[in-house]
Amino acid sequence: PRQVLAMAEDLRAAVASQTKRLNSSGGVVERLEENGHQNKRLKSDADEEDVEDQNKRSPKRKIVLLMAYSGKGYHGMQRNVGSSQFKTIEDDLVSALVQSGCIPENHGEDMKKMSFQRCARTDKGVSAAGQIVSLKVRLIDDILEKINNHLPSHIRILGLKRVTGGFNSKNKCDARTYSYMLPTFAFAHKDHDVQEEVYRLDKETLEKVNKLLACYKGTHNFHNFTSQKGPRDPSAKRYIMEMYCGEPFVRENIEFAVIKVKGQSFMMHQIRKMIGLVIAIVKGYAAESIIERSWGEEKVDVPKAPGLGLVLERVHFEKYNRRFGNDGLHEPLEWTEEEEKIAVFKEQYIYPTIINTEREEKSMANWLNTLSIHDFNSSAVGMRANNKNSK
């Protein structure tokens, strides 16, 4: 046995020196495994190990990204896996994250693997100036620059912050602020013959608009403002903090105004229907009492304004900021340093898209022509009663 042990030692020493020699020459590495077999590893394996080492050096961390995008031509924010003909903002984002080396390719295919969560699902054609997504990434050098290099110019990552490991941008968000930019001729009374480029909003009409928008403040049952909820669904109740229309301004000879709305959370199409109903009232198609009626259980025909003018302005994390914003480890989720970049992006990509599309495609003007088709007086209950009587 001593002889066998000595021979094994000699063999081990010989292999060790051979391994050392081959390692330094960068050729095939031959190594004696514990079971005595030789295991050949090619240079490409060594390259893969280099990548793994690099990944260990930049471990995955939970972050949030501040995003701005022009939504024209996209079918909303949220990715629809398996339906590639409907392109979304997240399709382009995930592709850029993979190409920049922030996430491995399989995480792009299954977004749960990177704990991905968006703060708000914006609808088809809707833009954002302050969207937030949370996810786990490798914190590579010059991360924002590298991601943006793989994104089209109308989608930008404007900021990044580290957050707590359990952070979820949708659940931790206390409120969302949207704006809706529209040409003011939308508020011209239906009985007046209006030339769109000449129309200017008068003070009395703006006051009426603001009086109606203020009716939405507080908690109401908004089941008539989405197609997804029934009248007794508790999740149809939503809390609106503020809603108002700002002073009008002229761009490209057309007067525009911006409506701002801040609420805890919104359902699909809710804001566009809230604005659509106010336009219908101001234009004289519907009575003011329809707003109160729409919160009741009966079905009310609420028109949906075009998606073009809607912009997700910012999202609010007040509770999170109070708890973690000043704990010495995490930053508060506020973006004062990025405000200028946000303003520049809006002026460069969001406002021109809304203005030019309105001029070329006349989305608001065409939609206004459909208001006369809506039946604002009869409700589902009333229609059933009328049908019984006629029978």
Residue positions counted in the chain? 391
Residue type, 97: L
Any catalytic annotation for residue 123?
yes
Angle, in degrees to the nearest 10, between helices 270-282 and 203-214: 140
Task: Take residue 143 and report the two structure tokens written for it.
Answer: 């991360």
Question: Is 69 among the annotated ligand-binding positions?
Answer: no
Catalytic residue among 92, 123, 141, 233: 123
Secondary structure in 3-state letters for the chain? CHHHHHHHHHHHHHHHHHHHHHHHHCCCEEEECCCCCEEEECHHHHHHHHHHHHHHHCCEEEEEEEEEECCCCCCCCCCCCCCCCCCCHHHHHHHHHHHCCCCCHHHHHCHHHHCCEECCCCCCCCEEEEEEEEEEEECCCCHHHHHHHCCCCCEEEEEEEECCCCCCCCCCCCEEEEEEEEEHHHHCCCCCCCCCCCCCCCHHHHHHHHHHHHCCCEEEECHHHCCCCCCCCHHHEEEEEEEEECCCEEECCEEEEEEEEEECCCCCCHHHHHHHHHHHHHCCCCCCCHHHHHCCCCCCCCCCCCCCCEEEEEEECHHHHHHHCCCCCCCCCCCHHHHHHHHHHHHHHHHHHHHHHHHHHCHHHHHHCCHHHCCCCCCHHHHHHHHHHHC
Give me the residue label for tokens 């065409």: 366
Q: Which residues contact 251 (CB under 8 A, 6 or more apart)?
A: 351, 355
* Catalytic machinery residues: 123
Binding residues for substrate: 178
